[in-house]
Structure 1
Amino acid sequence: MLIDRLAIDALSRECRRGFMRGRDSHSVRIVMVAESFLPQINGVANTARHVTDRLLAHGHQLLIIAAGPGPDTYQGVRVIRARSFGIPGYKEFPVGLPDPAIERAMADFKPDLVHLASPFIIGAYGLRSARRLGLPTVAIFQTDLAAFARQYPWFAKADRGITAWIRRVHSRADRTLAPSSASVAQLVQAGVPRVHTWGRGVNLDLFDPANRDEAWRREISPDGKPIVGYVGRLAAEKKVKRLAELDGLDCRLVIVGDGPDRASLEHTLPDATFLGMRRGTDLASIFAGLDVFVHTGEHETFCQTIQEAQASGVATVGPAAGGPLDLIRPGVNGLLFEPGRPGSLRQAVAQMLDDPARRQAMAEAGQRRVQTRTWPAVVDDLVNKHYAEVLQEAATRGSQARTSWSRRAA
């Protein structure tokens, strides 16, 4: 037993050293099963891409299994595309279907670990395959599907079933990583074991106050009024219609994004400027050009756009619920509003507009907060801590199983 324990400790140290040495390290083989991946643009796909980029930069070997159509390679990595279908209101978010080819591909690749990006359907099938193959698993919880379902009449009654399914899936993973303290508490309350916190990074090379474009600001606000903006999907769960509370405030409202609610929002918010979907440097310039960023959705497990606004040097207002609770310290780097109290959002934005000096101080504090939250730093934490610990735990279980078998044989 002592020899087994020493061997396990040595393996753990080697795993950690190997991860941290980067290109010179032992190459770890990882299968990523993603409910969404490029060319889709959403939080799940973006996170999966950043994780992939960093793993490749450190010389690890990957196989990606993803839902929906798209290229069959990414940065030289093979991408297996599972069959999928679209759902009403979310047709651009394909839902993958189970396929025996997933397990065959995993077995052929011979991975050390399986990374499940927001597992639901093909992720659940990937988890089942990993368990059958005896592979350790790390599951990333990213989307509160049960809360989203309640916003749509045709899914409203499915929220309990979705919660039960998420509990079932994540309970079978070796480790679940949730992006905020609120989502960790939600999963623990639902009965999911082995939940840890793992946040999200932000691209500081892209989102920067230096991208502020005064010509764009004059175009949006010729009279020099402060610009308040929202960036995100225009859908029921984002509660964008709540921006109607800002009517009458001395500001210009900008809406960036697209989705099924755009037409109704244009009717509800006739004075707002709708810019549609924007990406890359164009989006970064818009972020930096805002005076106040507002996020209205109360079901965010993290809320990446708040981090992007903070990196852009913009004061932020978000709901006192979910992921924003970890990102905004009220009165320090932004303000929170009460989702259940009418007028609370208007009051928070009005405070920002009425005190430019305080608003600027909060913007600077928000920018300082994200300086250590780069994607490389966040993914390195995933690898050096969570992957390494799960691999160590798997080695321990293997050693215990061998010892038990030896005792029975004796």
Structure 2
Amino acid sequence: MRIAVVSESFLPTVNGVTTSVCRVLEHLAASGHEAIVICPDAGAPATYAGFPVHQVPSFAYRQFPVGLPSPQVQRILARFGPDVLHAASPFLLGAQGIAAANRMGIPSVAVYQTDVAGYARSNGLGITSALAWKYVRWVHDGADLTLVPSSASEYDLRTAGVQRLARWGRGVDIERYHPNHRRGARAKELREQLSPDGELVVGYVGRVAPEKQVERLRALRGLPGVSVAIVGDGPARPVVAGALRGMPVTWLGRLGGEELAAAYAAFDIFAHTGTEETFGQTIQEAHASGLPVVAPRAGGPIDLVEHGVDGLLYPPGDERGLRAAVGMIAADVPLRLRMGEAGRRRVLGRSWSVLCDELVGHYETVIVDRAEEVQRIGSERAYS
């Protein structure tokens, strides 16, 4: 199969969209498929997993490259001749990719990964929620199938009027993120840095951006025996640093690979703060690492955290609820261990191999459906 992946985000930018695209490309390569990547021109590598990477013009917004519509997109697609187009978190670039695919008779799968309306609101883009959802509906109506990662995002898209939806989550590397890494040298060294006096470490991993609401960790101020560690960076760091001033906070910056795995291993509790996540990949990584998770009862976490079993869900925006949840788990060692074990068990069947096989199945479905539609239209015209 030949797959053209049009992604709004790619390396060197690291986020949930980039991570999932990289894992998909690795799986496609291992399975003998052919692929190309079309992404913003932000310093991406020339190839990934052996596949060519084509960059198109973009502009930077809050340290995030945004791909611009370009006539190159259709030319690249025409030269490659894909069987299917994969639009990762389509916005401007992805929308053009889907439109070009339709003009060329190529079926497309759109992967919904970003709450555009929530992002616009949090980042002050001056776009009303109604207008943002109208744009989302227009983009996804062009695709043959839209894959949604959670029940919350499926509800939002159905409410907005988007049709042709199916559920597709995200995989997690259950070997890289593993409770056993707590015994590793790097995790032990980091643990000494984060907990010099035996503090319980509450960790956050992700972009430090307005929509992530990391400043809500201020709710943990004064919680006895608790320190905070933040992995990541982004445009909201000055605001978050101000909100957390005077608290025992360690900023670890952007981490990846084994360094990120060691960071999870050095945490005791994982805290997720944003209320606008369509999924929550870092929650899965935390669970794979054997950590209990505290998260708002909103968006992707609703499907990823079983309240009282592998973590606690608090009311969205309720900082006292966040504090109470962390305090409850921090004070009860057996509960913390049980939740960590339950979280690990929860993700054991969610390897990237399993999830990517599901994705290839969706590709095959839209290819067959499009061919049958073309045949049906041809038959109708022959008899008219």
Q: Which range, TM-score by smaller chain?
A: over 0.9
2:14 counterpart residue number: 41
Residues 294-309 of structure 1 aligned to structure 2 (within 5 Å): 294-309=271-286
Residues 85-104 of structure 1 aligned to structure 2 (within 5 Å): 85-87=59-61, 89=62, 91=63, 93-104=64-75
Residues 196-207 of structure 1 aligned to structure 2 (within 5 Å): 196-207=166-177
Task: Specify the structure having the higher radius of gyration (Cα).
Answer: 1
CA distance in 2, matches of 1:73, 1:219: 37
Residues 176-215 of structure 1 aligned to structure 2 (within 5 Å): 176-212=146-182, 213-215=187-189
Answer yes or no: is the 8 Å Cα contact 2:284–2:304 preserved in 1.
Answer: yes
Answer yes or no: is the 8 Å Cα contact 2:310–2:340 preserved in 1.
Answer: yes
**Secondary structure at 2:129 match in 1:** helix
2:256 counterpart residue number: 279
Letter in 1 for 2:55: R
- How far apart are 1:177 and its partner, in Å? 0.3
**Secondary structure at 1:78 match in 2:** strand
Letter in 2 for 1:168: W
2:368 is the alignment partner of 1:392: yes
CA distance in 1, matches of 2:210, 2:122: 6
Residues 11-410 of structure 1 aligned to structure 2 (within 5 Å): 28-69=1-42, 70-87=44-61, 89=62, 91=63, 93-153=64-124, 155-212=125-182, 213-250=187-224, 251-269=226-244, 270-271=246-247, 272-384=249-361, 386-408=362-384
Answer yes or no: is the 8 Å Cα contact 2:179–2:265 preserved in 1.
Answer: yes
**Secondary structure at 2:32 match in 1:** coil
**Secondary structure at 2:166 match in 1:** strand
Instruction: Specify every segment of 5 or more residues in structure 1 that has no aligned partner in the other structure, as ranges.
Output: 1-27
CA distance in 1, matches of 2:85, 2:169: 19
CA distance in 1, matches of 2:7, 2:319: 38
**CA-to-partner distance for each residue in 1:83-104, whole Å, 9 max, x for gaps?**
11012x2x2x211111122112
Answer yes or no: is the 8 Å Cα contact 1:36–1:68 preserved in 2.
Answer: no
- How far apart are 1:158 and its partner, in Å? 4.2
Instruction: Specify every segment of 5 or more residues in structure 2 that has no aligned partner in the other structure, as ranges.
Output: none
- How far apart are 1:37 and its partner, in Å? 1.4
**Secondary structure at 1:237 match in 2:** helix
Letter in 2 for 1:160: A
Determine what percentage of the aligned residue pairs are the same residue: 45
1:6 counterpart residue number: none
**CA-to-partner distance for each residue in 1:175-222, whole Å, 9 max, x for gaps?**
000111100110000000011110001112211112213343233212
CA distance in 2, matches of 1:252, 1:149: 32
CA distance in 2, matches of 1:75, 1:258: 27
CA distance in 2, matches of 1:156, 1:242: 24
Letter in 1 for 2:99: R
Letter in 2 for 1:62: A
Letter in 1 for 2:172: V
Q: How many residue pairs get matched?
A: 376
**Secondary structure at 2:106 match in 1:** coil
Letter in 1 for 2:227: R
Answer yes or no: is the 8 Å Cα contact 1:315–1:334 preserved in 2.
Answer: yes
Answer yes or no: is the 8 Å Cα contact 2:15–2:207 preserved in 1.
Answer: no
- How far apart are 1:159 and its partner, in Å? 3.4
**CA-to-partner distance for each residue in 1:294-319, whole Å, 9 max, x for gaps?**
00000000011111100001111111
Letter in 2 for 1:391: I
**Secondary structure at 1:373 match in 2:** coil
CA distance in 2, matches of 1:72, 1:219: 38
CA distance in 1, matches of 2:319, 2:94: 39
Q: What's the TM-score once normalised by structure 2's chain length?
A: 0.95
CA distance in 2, matches of 1:383, 1:78: 20
Answer yes or no: is the 8 Å Cα contact 1:141–1:179 preserved in 2.
Answer: yes
